[in-house]
Amino acid sequence: MVTICDHKEKIKENREKTMNILIREDSVASHVSFIRNERVILDFHLAEMYQTEIKKLKQAIRRNMERFPLDFMFQLSQKEYEQLRVKFPSLPLGRSERYLPFAFTEQGVAMLSSVLNSDRAIQVNIAIMRAFVQMRRFIENNKDILAKVQELEDTMQERFSKQDDKIKDILDVIKYLVREDSKPRPQVGFQT
């Protein structure tokens, strides 16, 4: 028989879980990357959120690969991972293709909840799904701003490429003028 005291204790535990997850929800967005035109979360970030070892997470994924088609999860190439490491130097090293991280789309993260069947996994997945929804709403509400930022980036890229061409021309002229094999110039002025 459940007493009122037990029920209050259960509510308190659920509140604590929810508070922990809410804190995690705020940090979920910082783990979302944009790779192959998809918003994804990398496996080592997920392992951190689920409070499990990356090795165990990858084992569970490999045992259930049929649940993760390419639009749910993909493994990064070495080049993609190196580009990501340039942006985020604190990422762990992927020494070989075997250890390159998996990237999970929103659907892949949802599928993880069926593979990792624990209370923590369920709560983290809820937080991640909410974060993806918030990001989608933010993007939808700010399409105009994002379009203007993209237009500005394109304009700046065009300007920089023109400047690069001008700088290259100047450097070519300087190289021509200081070239060692050029003929000595005749002396100008009165000669005796």
Per residue in 137-175, pLDDT (tens digit) is: 887 888 888 788 888 888 887 777 777 778 888 888 877
83 pLDDT exceeds 70?
Answer: yes
At residue 26, the pLDDT reads 58
pLDDT of residue 44 exceeding 90, the answer is no
* Nearest CA-CA partner of 31 in 122, 107, 111, 104: 104
What pLDDT does 22 receive?
Answer: 45
Least confidently predicted of 10-14, 85-89, 153-157: 10-14
Does the pLDDT value for residue 25 go beyond 70? Answer: no
Which two three-digit tokens encode residue 14?
């659920």
| C-alpha pair distances (Å), 106 with each of 16, 56, 92, 181 | 26, 21, 22, 63
- Quick check: 90 pLDDT over 80? no
At 135, which helix (H) or strand (E)? helix 119-141
Tell me the residue type at 118: S
Under the banding of pLDDT at 50, 70 and 90, the label for residue 12 is low
Structure tokens at 170: 């100047």
The angle subtended at Cα 23 by Cα 17 and Cα 29, nearest 5°, is 130
CA distance 128 to 110: 9
Contact between residue 18 and residue 32 where contact means Cβ atoms under 8 Å apart: no
